[in-house]
Amino acid sequence: MTKYHLKTIATGREFDDTGWVLDDPQYEGHSLVRAIYDKKQLTLGDPTEGIYKFADWMPISRTLKGSAAPVTYKSKGLAEKLGLTNLWITFNGYYPEIGANMSTCSFKETESYTVGGRISANEDRVLVVASAGNTARAFAKVCSENNIKLLLSVPEDNLDALWFEKELNPCVKLIASRTGSDYFDAIHLGNIAVKSPKFYAEGGAKNVARRDGMATTTLSAVTTIGQIPDYYFQAVGSGTGAIAAWEANLRFIEDGRFGDNKMKLIVSQNHPFVPMYDAWKANSREMLPYEDNEARRHVEIIDAKVLSNRKPPYAIIGGLYDALVDCDGDVVIVDNEKAREAAAIYQKLEGIDIHPAAAVAVASLIDAVNAGRVNSDDCIMLNITGGGEGRLRKELGDKIFYLKPTVVFDVDPCEDSVLKAVEQLF
């Protein structure tokens, strides 16, 4: 549907997107590939198309039903409190008064509708997605409503995130890693499953559809504001959303109508789970050693569980490290107390509840203002990656449906038993 090809960032090698391409096989997965679109200037579609109004810059072969787009608006309440004259909020979630209608209440919907739109309607294998919670809920909704076979892998401690407005299509199945595990353990389960030819990996940050789906937050912001912002604030677990924002920025520079500046990415992690912060402050391209049990203990402490990726696309060529260097960005940290305070401030001033990860981003903006890192008239994009869940759950009352795992595996499971179990699910 959209005309594009792929380009390896490390070498500049270009090739067609034939099949389910995640890596350039000539570069052994050490570099991201990027979608290069035939249309260099973005033309917005009709708002009724949902997220697909950005289809010019989405690597899709079809559109799916039920999508909603991010909504960008100029802040009044929070901006006034912080003394900012040009603060723009890109809201991903449920907030009908501003036209935000993501029923999973998370910007993970942006990637799931784009990844789903890249999948051929004739694909018979099962898509595998590992998640700490929000991504699983988004993919489950999209795949259920569009009859795409899906295997989810989620830590058992995060299953409360898998709530829905109605029972799901049986094409969606769930497995879990036992209590005490984390996102990395769920990824390990998913990696075992894709060793079977019946399954294929969604691909995470290596999937151009995931990144360019997330990039619609920046497409929303720039086309609404009319310029590329000076700063971009977001909390990160993998950093994929920030990489996507950087890539969208580069496309807008090539577009030529919105300025030629590179917005500074200010990405935040929830202390004490801060592996990317530690690497960045050590001026290290490579992630520093992070002992498994210590990482799991830190995950238990943080409020924003979705920010707990131990193997993020930080060091890979074209990944977060390169993005931060290119835009003179930074990684900062926020503890639970500051994030909770920021969530309360945001709800009071902007009128809607937000997810803990989004609260980390708001707290990082407050810290930046207090430290004088941003000027009062800077054009700032604040990416609220999830919100409105409290409101929607209250509206739904006892009508909420929870997806339960068919199998719960130990932290270090036998591969053969995992493969046998997941193949029997479909």
pTM above 0.75, yes or no: yes
Over residues 255-278, mean pLDDT = 98
Over residues 347-362, mean pLDDT = 98
Q: Find all residues with CB under 8 Å of 231, minimum gap 6, and list them.
A: 263, 264, 266, 368, 374, 378, 379, 380, 381
Q: What is the pLDDT of residues 367-400, one digit of tens each?
A: 999 999 999 999 999 999 999 999 999 999 999 9
Which one, of 163, 198, 158, lies nearest residue 175 by Cα?
A: 158
Q: How many whole angstroms separate alpha carbon 335 and alpha carbon 339?
A: 6
Over residues 151-166, mean pLDDT = 94
Residue 1 has pLDDT above 80, yes or no: no
Residue 409, H or E segment: strand 407-409
Residue 334, H or E segment: strand 330-334
Residue 415 has pLDDT above 90, yes or no: yes
Q: How many whole angstroms separate alpha carbon 63 and alpha carbon 103?
A: 18
Q: Which residues of 2-34 are buried (b: 16+ CB within 10 A; e: fewer)?
A: bebbbbbbbeeeeeebeebbbbbeebeeebbbb
Residue 26 has pLDDT above 80, yes or no: no
Residue 29 has pLDDT above 80, yes or no: no
Q: What is the pLDDT of residue 383?
A: 98
Q: How many whole angstroms separate alpha carbon 365 and alpha carbon 384?
A: 12
Q: What does the block give as tokens for 405?
A: 């795992």
Single-letter amino acid code for the residue at 128: V
Question: Quick check: 287 and 275 in contact, CB under 8 A?
Answer: yes
Q: How many whole angstroms separate alpha carbon 295 and alpha carbon 287?
A: 13
Residue 28 has pLDDT above 80, yes or no: no
Over residues 146-161, mean pLDDT = 95
* Count of Cβ atoms closer than 10 Å to residue 146 Cβ: 20
Question: Quick check: 273 and 302 in contact, CB under 8 A?
Answer: yes
Chain mean pLDDT for the chain: 96
Q: What are phi and psi of 70, to 5 degrees?
A: -60, 155
- Name all domains of the chain by residue range, CATH numbers in brackets: 71-105+210-393 (3.40.50.1100)
Question: What's the pLDDT band for 57 if we cut at 50, 70, 90?
Answer: very high
